[in-house]
């Protein structure tokens, strides 16, 4: 028995990094996975790698999460391919640097559009699918940046805090409406994926750059994608059936300081 037997998961931003790792871990535990990404070739590659281990379990969709039409097509295609959708992992996201003096309206809007608006649009459109195939779970990938601030991450801080609060509002609505749909957020610290390359470069690159990041983390190392994957897997599974409107920090202790 896999921990995700019977689960049909749409994972956004699955071409690389965390999303690709979630797809592998989910399929290893018995789920079917629809991997979507604006990078369609990357989504195909992730699905192909999963299908090598578990033939027929993974499907790929080119999907820009800022586009309503793309959401409609991805949800429709994923539900048809998997037989429904009962797990939605809103993982696609971008990092943006800038402080109150340097941030531009353009970069601010882009960050909110990709990291926040996309989850509003997509989760609203996914609701009929999730209701149909309940019990269902929505997992939103926020960040420690949604809980603690950095002077040079203005729009990202605001975006990830919005994801944190949006997750609670969605969870409470579903609970009050009597839907068997849970919604939670996950808050990783610096985790070894391409998104942290600019941060490592800012710190001087290579091991020096990584050291500047790990020094801030009580457990003194970067996160690995699997560290986050185990939390997402738990929230997607029925093991977390009484957990909703919660936040799980996968942060090596950084937010406790």
For 212, the token pair is: 């500047």
Tokens at 12, concatenated: 């956004």
Q: How far is CA 82 from CA 6, 41, 144, 254, in A?
A: 10, 20, 32, 38
Helices (H), 83-181: 105-112, 118-132, 154-177
Question: d(Cα 24, Cα 58) in Å, to the nearest integer?
Answer: 9
User: Does 251 sit near ligand NAD (CB under 6 A)?
Assistant: no
- Interacting residue with ligand NAD among 143, 167, 185, 240 (CB under 6 A): 143
- 47 and 73 Cβ atoms separated by less than 8 Å: no
Nearest distance from residue 78's CB to ligand NAD, in Å?
A: 14
Dig out the tokens for 185 from the structure: 């957020």
Could you tell me the smallest distance in angstroms from the CB atom of residue 48 to ligand NAD? Answer: 15
234 is catalytic: no
- Token pair of 245 as six digits: 């409107």
Of 9, 50, 65, 119, the one binding ligand NAD by CB under 6 A: 65
Which of 126, 164, 176, 144 shows the shortest CA–CA distance to 245? 164
What span, in angstroms and rounded, lies between the C-alpha atoms of 255 and 189? 9
Q: How far is the CB of 134 from ligand NAD (least distance, A)?
A: 25
Residue (of 214, 239, 112) closest to 163 by Cα position: 112
* Residue 64 interacting with ligand NAD (CB under 6 A): yes
Catalytic option among 129, 156, 179, 230: 156
Whose Cβ is closer to ligand NAD: residue 195's or residue 238's? 195
Interface mask (CB under 6 A) for ligand NAD, residues 183-222, using x and -? Answer: -----x-xx-xxxx--------------------------
Which of 24, 84, 93, 217 touches ligand NAD (CB under 6 A)? 93
Q: Which stretch binds ligand NAD (CB under 6 A): 22-30, 49-57, 60-68, 96-104?
A: 60-68
Q: Measure the CA dihedral 230/186/166/17, to 10°.
A: -80
Helix or strand or coil: residue 88? strand
How many Cβ atoms sit within 10 Å of the Cβ of residue 243?
14
x/- site string to ligand NAD, residues 99 to 138, per CB under 6 A? ---------------x------------------------
Among 8, 10, 16, 139, which residue interacts with ligand NAD (rule: CB under 6 A)? 16
Q: Give the residue with the Cβ less far from ligand NAD, 134 or 213.
A: 213
Instruction: Establish if 18 lies at the interface with ligand NAD (CB under 6 A).
Output: yes
**Among positions 4, 74, 88, 92, the unique one binding ligand NAD when judged by CB under 6 A:** 92
Residue numbers of the site for ligand NAD (CB under 6 A)?
A: 12-13, 15-19, 37-39, 42, 63-66, 91-95, 114, 141, 143, 188, 190-191, 193-196
Report the catalytic residues: 156
């Amino acid at each position: 028995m896999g921990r995700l037997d019977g689960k049909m998961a749409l994972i956004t931003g699955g071409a690389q990094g965390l999303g690709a790792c979630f797809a592998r871990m989910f399929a290893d535990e018995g789920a079917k996975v629809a991997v979507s990404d604006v990078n369609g070739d990357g989504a195909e590659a992730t699905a192909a790698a999963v299908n090598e281990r578990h033939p027929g379990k993974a499907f790929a969709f080119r999907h820009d999460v800022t586009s309503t039409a793309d959401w409609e097509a991805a949800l429709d295609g994923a539900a048809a391919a998997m037989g429904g959708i009962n797990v939605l992992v809103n993982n696609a996201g971008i990092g943006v640097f800038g402080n109150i003096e340097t941030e531009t309206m353009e970069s601010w809007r882009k960050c909110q559009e990709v990291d926040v608006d996309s989850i509003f649009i997509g989760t609203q459109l996914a609701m009929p699918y999730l209701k149909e195939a309940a019990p269902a779970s929505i997992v939103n990938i926020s960040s420690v940046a949604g809980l603690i601030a950095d002077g040079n991450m203005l729009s990202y801080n605001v975006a990830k805090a919005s994801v944190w609060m949006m997750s609670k509002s969605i969870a409470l609505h579903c609970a009050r409406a009597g839907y068997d749909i849970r919604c939670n957020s996950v808050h990783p610290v610096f985790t070894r994926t391409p998104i942290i390359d600019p941060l490592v470069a800012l710190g001087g690159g290579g091991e020096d750059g990584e050291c500047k990041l790990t020094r801030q983390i009580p457990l003194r190392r970067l996160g690995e994608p699997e560290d986050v994957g185990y939390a997402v897997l738990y929230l997607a599974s029925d093991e977390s059936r009484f957990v909703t409107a919660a936040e799980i920090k996968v942060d090596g202790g950084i937010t406790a300081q």
